[in-house]
């Protein structure tokens, strides 16, 4: 068996392959340009949204009830709580889903993959509000972790699914090549398979991040705070100013987090695949 050393594909039918590659490169370049534009535009949009809604709210004549919600200190506290919930969720999701996904693609373990994907599916399919309340009923405690853990379970699926997918799409011939060069299975995993799976894992993580920011608006139900407090206060009191401030800040946070995810995809992916 002859091994090709050319970096791009195989030699047979090289003429046809070359034109295909050119077309692919062309659209890929256009995609990259659009992506770069988005990377620039998104933080600007976040700033405009946040600045706009705050300027709008603070320039209004707020009554005593609204002032209790819309104060700099309160907004900062709630936003910070929201960020902490999101960070904790993401850390848990990555720490759980990436090793689990790696394990479930190793020989001998693949049969268990449907079981765990099934469990993660249940987490994603169940309503987040139900998970939160069930988790409270099971533990009879309230607070930060009671808000974080159900949301982590809820956002586990995209990362787990994409980790498994990321490993599955690695060309088996590359693994063979690695083994043929005398690498151990572990070294192949570390130096070949994992780097090639990273873009998929990051794409999954980005989905999870946005899910986590969105569902963290429900964490207030179990005393974990977050921007959901403003949304619920505004809704219950028919106070649209508080409602809009809470909702727009949550949207801005989701856009910001999505942007960070996109940056991670650009800068943390393997160099050769960027």
Partner 1 sequence: MAGRRKLLLRKVAAFAMVAATAVTLASCGLESGGALPLKVGPGSITPVPELEGVPITVGSKDFTEQIILGYIIEFALSAAGADIRDLTNIQGSNSTRDAQVHGQIDLTYEYTGTGWINYLGHEHPIPDPTAQFEAVRDEDLTRNGLVWTDPAPMNNTYALATSRATAEATGVRTLSEYADLVKRDPAAATTCVETEFNVRQDGYPGMAAAYDFDPAKAQKQILQTGIIYQATADGTQCKFGEVFTTDGRIIALDLVLLDDDRSFFPKYNPALIMREGFAQAHPQVAEVMAPVSAELTDEEITELNRRVDVEGKEPADVAREWLVDKGFVTAAD
- Applying CB under 8 A, the residues found at the interface with partner 1 are 63-66, 68-69, 133, 136-137, 140-143, 220-223, 225, 229, 232-233, 236-238
How crowded is residue 213: how many other Cβ atoms within 10 Å of its Cβ?
28
CB of 221 to partner 1, least distance (A): 4
Quickly list H helices, 104-218: 113-125, 128-139, 144-154, 156-168, 172-180, 185-188, 194-215
CB of 215 to partner 1, least distance (A): 15
Give the residue with the Cβ less far from partner 1, 93 or 221: 221
Q: Which residues contact 121 (CB under 8 A, 6 or more apart)?
A: 157
CB of 229 to partner 1, least distance (A): 5
Q: Determine the distance from the C-alpha atom of residue 223 to the mean position of all C-alpha atoms in its chain, rounded to a whole number.
A: 24
CB of 248 to partner 1, least distance (A): 18
Q: Determine the distance from the C-alpha atom of residue 92 to the mean position of all C-alpha atoms in its chain, rounded to a whole number.
A: 12
Give the residue with the Cβ less far from partner 1, 32 or 236: 236
How crowded is residue 167: how many other Cβ atoms within 10 Å of its Cβ?
21
Give the residue with the Cβ less far from partner 1, 68 or 95: 68
CB of 68 to partner 1, least distance (A): 4
Q: For residue 181, how many C-alpha atoms fall within 13 Å in the half-sphere facing its CB?
A: 12
Q: Taking a C-beta distance cutoff of 8 angstroms, is the pair 153, 88 a contact?
A: no
Q: Cα(first)–Cα(last) distance of the chain, in Å? A: 30
Give the residue with the Cβ less far from partner 1, 142 or 240: 142
Give the residue with the Cβ less far from partner 1, 238 or 271: 238
């Amino acid at each position: 068996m002859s091994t090709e050393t050319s970096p791009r594909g195989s030699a047979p039918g090289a003429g046809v392959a070359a034109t295909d590659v050119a077309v692919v490169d062309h659209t890929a370049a256009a995609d990259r340009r659009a992506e770069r534009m988005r990377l620039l535009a998104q933080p600007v949009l976040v700033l405009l949204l946040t600045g706009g809604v705050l300027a709008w709210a603070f320039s209004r004549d707020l009554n005593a009830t609204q002032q209790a919600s819309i104060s700099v200190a309160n907004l900062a506290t709630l936003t910070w709580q929201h960020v902490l919930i999101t960070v904790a969720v993401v850390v848990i999701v990555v720490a759980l889903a990436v090793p689990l996904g790696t394990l479930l693609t190793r020989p001998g373990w693949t049969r268990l993959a449907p079981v765990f994907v099934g469990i993660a599916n249940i987490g994603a399919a169940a309503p987040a509000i139900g998970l939160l309340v069930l988790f409270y009923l099971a533990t009879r405690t309230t607070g930060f972790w009671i808000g974080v853990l159900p949301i982590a379970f809820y956002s586990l699926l995209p990362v787990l699914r994409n980790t498994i997918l990321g490993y599955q799409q690695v060309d088996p011939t590359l693994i063979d090549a690695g083994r043929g060069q005398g690498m151990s299975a572990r070294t192949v995993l570390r130096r070949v398979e994992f780097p090639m799976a990273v873009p998929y894992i990051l794409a999954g993580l980005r989905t999870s991040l946005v899910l986590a920011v969105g569902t963290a608006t429900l964490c207030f139900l179990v005393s974990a705070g977050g921007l959901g407090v403003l949304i619920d206060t505004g809704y219950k009191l028919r106070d649209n100013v508080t409602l809009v401030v809470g909702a727009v800040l949550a949207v801005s946070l989701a856009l910001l987090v999505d942007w960070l995810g996109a940056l991670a995809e650009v800068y943390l992916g393997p160099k050769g695949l960027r």
